[in-house]
Chains A and B, each alone.
Chain A
Amino acid sequence: MDASIIAGDVPEKLYHEVLGATRVIEQQGPIPSHAVVFSKEFKDPPRSRTIQTITQLGAPEHRNLMRSFISSLFVGFKPTTAAEHLGALNNYLKLVGLKFTERL
Chain B
Amino acid sequence: MNKTVHGIFRIMTLAAILNIGLTAAVSAQSKLVVAIQPTLSSDEMLKKAQPLAKFFKDGLGGNTDVQIYVPTSHAAVVESLRFGHAHLAFMSAWPAQLAVQLGGADVPLAEIRQVIHGNEKKDAPYYFSYWVVPKDSPYQNLQALKGKSVCFSSPISTSGYVGQGSRSQNIL
Contacts and interface: CB of A to CB of B under 8 A. Distances in A.
B113 to A, nearest CB: 4
Given A28-B129, A92-B163, A21 B135 contact: yes
Contact of A49 (B60, B113, B158): B60
Interface string A26-37: 111111111111
Contacts of A90: 97
Contact of A26 (B59, B88, B103, B167): B167
A6 to B, nearest CB: 5
Interface residues of A, number: 83
Contact of A96 (B13, B36, B98, B166): B166
Contact of A3 (B44, B49, B99, B148): B148
Nearest to B95: A37
B97 to A, nearest CB: 5
Interface of A: 1-9, 12, 15, 18-19, 21-42, 45-46, 49-58, 62, 65-66, 68-71, 73-82, 84-86, 88-93, 95-104
Interface of B: 1, 3-10, 12-14, 26-27, 29, 32, 36-37, 39-40, 44-45, 48-49, 51-52, 55-56, 59-61, 64, 81-82, 84, 86-94, 96-117, 121, 123-135, 137, 139-142, 145, 148-153, 158-167, 169-171
